Amino acid sequence: MPDILVKVQSTEETAGIMTYAALKKIPVVVRGAGTGLVGGAVALCKGIMIETGAMNHILELDRENLTVTVEPGVLLMDLAAYAEENKLFYPPDPGEKSATIGGNISTNAGGMRAVKYGVTRDYVRGLTVVLPTGEVIRLGGKVVKNSSGYSLMNLIIGSEGTLGIITEATLKLLPLPELTVSLLIPFSTIEAAIEIVPRIIEAQVQAVAIEFMERSTILFAEDFLGKKFPDTDSDAYILLTFDGNSREEVENSFEKAADLCLSYGAKDVFLVDTEERKDSVWSARGAFLEAIKASAAEMDECDVVVPRSRVADL
Ligand SMILES: Cc1cc2nc3c(=O)[nH]c(=O)nc-3n(C[C@H](O)[C@H](O)[C@H](O)COP(=O)(O)OP(=O)(O)OC[C@H]3O[C@@H](n4cnc5c(N)ncnc54)[C@H](O)[C@@H]3O)c2cc1C
């Protein structure tokens, strides 16, 4: 537990606290929604905890430059909904929608759309950061490219609050794709399901998401949610998502991917295009972590970070 919790409201207030803490040599930890999985927002050395939840305003939508400027405590789900209301799209989609944008930037969150759209770093255009001394710096801006000097902005992204406190962020948006369709593809073995992934990427079918699902995890999710998954007869599944602006464009991609999977031993291809199927598949995907936790006495959670071609071996 920290000695004191401060719910900051502005850059100036944050700068004031940091100046004071530097002067008195008091440890400071910054916290967004506290959903991070590695304990970065825990006040191990006590001191001051700065919480950004009250800095939750969307400050500007710039349609000409396709950027949105937000305070760090804006929740990912609120930003995603705001973008969509404006027919725009903020692609980063890590599993936890109640995380803050400040937390997403500080962990360089990836998530389910990273295959096609990249990770949070790819959407950060500018940052306002309060340094440990209390000095306020502005990095980047609305420009698409900047080749002057070291990219301090990229040093801040993913630094888990160790270098400074993000108090404002300008993020890139995209036009909202008109259509999204998923395919659920069963395989007889886990290896066959995993080994198809580099081939799908090589075939340039531009999947938004490529998710691997094991039968046992799906059964946990069915129990946990009390909802049936479309198919549970196979050991492993790949869930592919495609988006685009016309049915023809999306169909082209998913037909190519479906043929490829069938030629490499997929048992079938289920189209996830009705609301009911979308809900059953994506709610199961979203509940995996909680479902496994609920069904196991002990769980060790880790990210798989090896080249794609070696995932099946791992
Ligand atoms: C169910 C679940 C699924 C997830 N799935 C994915 C996934 O698919 N891909 C992925 O990449 N991640 C995933 N995550 C991790 C997710 O990216 C983080 O939980 C989230 O980004 C943290 O945001 P937060 O607001 O909760 O930050 P916190 O947990 O509060 O903080 C996280 C870190 O950022 C720092 N920080 C927070 N705000 C600021 C700020 N304003 N300035 C500077 N530093 C700050 C904190 O000090 C801490 O080190 C998942 C998490 C959960 C719980």
Residue 49 forms beta bridges with which residues? 5, 29
SS3 141: coil
d(CA 209, CA 219): 21
pLDDT exceeds cutoff 90 at 275: no
In tens, the pLDDT along 14-53 reads 999 999 999 999 999 999 999 998 999 999 999 999 999 9
pLDDT exceeds cutoff 80 at 245: yes
- The response to whether residue 35 sits with its C-beta less than 6 Å from ligand 1 reads yes
CB 191 within 8 A of CB 210: no
pLDDT exceeds cutoff 90 at 3: yes
Q: Which two tokens stand for residue 222?
A: 């069915």
Q: How far is CA 197 from CA 7, 232, 257, 261, 284, in A?
A: 44, 20, 10, 9, 21
- The response to whether residue 110 sits with its C-beta less than 6 Å from ligand 1 reads yes
Q: Count of CB atoms within 10 A of residue 300's CB?
A: 5
**pLDDT above 70 coverage of the chain, percent:** 100
Q: Which residues contact 150 (CB under 8 A, 6 or more apart)?
A: none
> What residue's CA is closest to ligand 1, atom 28?
34
d(CA 9, CA 7): 7
- The response to whether residue 102 sits with its C-beta less than 6 Å from ligand 1 reads yes
In tens, the pLDDT along 285-313 reads 888 888 988 988 888 877 778 888 888 78
For residue 245, how far is its CA from the centre of ligand 1 (angstroms)?
31
- The response to whether residue 40 sits with its C-beta less than 6 Å from ligand 1 reads yes
